[in-house]
Amino acid sequence: MEKLFIIKYLTIFILFIFISHNFYAQNELFVYRFLGEPYLEINDSIKPVTKGSIIDKNTILTMNMNDDIQVINEKGDIFHLVSTGDFSHNDLLKIPMIKNTNSYVKKYFTYIWKEFTNNVVTRHNKSGVVYRGDDIVLMSHPADSIKIYYPEINFEWKAIKDKTKEYYFILKNLDSGEITKIGTLSTSLSLFVDGTILKEGDNYEWTITETKYPNFNKTTFYSFKLLNTSEFDAMEQELEGITKFLKNIGLSKNEIREAICLDYNICF
């Protein structure tokens, strides 16, 4: 009887911990956009605000004169703060949300919140060279797993210090099975979407290696989908809704396209 009580007590305790953790995780806020130099105090540690900074119950946000910040929650709601002072997580939740009734915009910011959540532990510095075992990941643009609607794609990658030999650009068409290899001393390469190497509607993977014949099973590839006109037109209503909202919260035309490309993986 005593053992049964202990087991029941432990089960309730574990369930309570799980629910509490899940509650706080769902109530985390992430910085979407900021101006100025706001900073965060986390357990006596001071950190500058960056895009994707997490704000939870242990965080104090300090806003200086002319600072401006927008944070999002897991429902895709946006809180906009321009006041000076120190603000707790609860203080931010009391700020009136930016009104939005567009389902596409909600979907957009919910997606961004999930991406920020997934990247808390796995986030790496995309501006540097990433090492995964013996594999050197040099690719920087286009990013991984995106959809593109451009007439020309500029591939860019990071340089290896003191390298004098060629890099090898390798492109795989996942629909046709065609593989293109190009050797170059440069760290960029442009290809036109003209139906020769790059074709509208097809799916691709690309990588940069130091050898003509890498082991594909041990090589990291970035993937992208080239949208055709009908596929892009099908997204028009969604993209127009997102674009209009981002314009209303202060983003310029170029900033909007960059934001949708970086945050939503649709580049046009």
The CATH fold of domain 130-231 = Immunoglobulin-like (2.60.40)
pLDDT value of position 238: 97
pLDDT, average across residues 161-169: 94
Domain residue limits, the chain: 2-101, 130-231
- How many CB atoms are located within 10 Å of the residue 177 CB? 7
| Lowest-confidence pick of 48-57, 121-130, 202-211, 225-234 | 121-130
pLDDT, average across residues 231-245: 97
pTM: 0.79
C-alpha 243/C-alpha 43 separation (Å) is 38
pLDDT, average across residues 177-182: 98
151 pLDDT above the threshold of 70: yes
Dump the DSSP string for 197-232: SS-TT-EEEEEEESSSS--GGG---EEEEE--HHHH
Helix (H, G, I), strand (E, B) or coil at 40: strand
